Amino acid sequence: MFDFFKKKKPPAPTAAAAPTETGPAVPLPLAGREGHVGAIEAVTLDGTMYFFGFDFSSDLVLSPLIADIDLAARFASQHMAQRDGTHDEAYWRELAGYAVDGSELATETESRSFSTESLAAAIASLARVRREGTVEPGFTIEYHLRYLLGAAGGWEVPEEAGDEDADEWIDVISGNEPLAEGTTLTGIADRLQAHLNALVDAAPGNWATKFAVLKA
């Protein structure tokens, strides 16, 4: 009798929801380059600074281009190490800050800053040399960019499009060095364009898409 006046048992407590990670997903390392010892470097393209992991001992780019410095630090905390082991995101965030104004790879700011417009103009000039076979004063494709594309691609450029003469080719095309006997400007320009195509083709992820302007 009067059972309906009895107090009901309180409901069982529900398990606390697991914390969810907010923000953009952390990208994966390039080509399975997991756990490499390295540092964070940066380049600027069209006014946007992009960070990336780099292994100096192997000359390898470890990550896609990452526009968010905090995300770059998160990537490094999950996929990279230093000589004394792994570190947390705050540690890598401090190291990433050094890449904003400096670099262990290229000390000059101009060597780390690129624009799609200027790269497209250089490729257009190269196309003219390929057609007309005359020098293009002032022509250049920044060495540091070519180096980074090679490092991103794991140095998988085919031998026939190799880079052993790329700097010499650029000097000849710009008129800074004379043509070697038995060569033509058209042939040298063709070889340089084939080399640039191979660099972009071998580069994974957004390295290829960001610098696709170099292809022709």
- Work out the percent of the chain whose per-residue pLDDT is above 70: 87
Distance CA 112, CA 41 (A): 10
Contact present, 119 and 213 (Cβ < 8 Å):
yes
pLDDT value for 134:
96
Q: Is the pLDDT score of 129 beyond 70?
A: yes
> Which of 133, 121, 113 is closest to 175 using CA atoms?
133
Q: Is the pLDDT score of 6 beyond 50?
A: no
Domains of the chain, residue spans: 30-110, 115-214
Q: How confident is the model at residue 60 (pLDDT cuts 50, 70, 90)?
A: very high
Q: Is the pLDDT score of 9 beyond 50?
A: no
For residue 32, the SS3 value is helix
Q: Which of 9-13, 147-151, 210-214 has the lowest mean pLDDT?
A: 9-13
Q: What is the pTM of this model?
A: 0.87
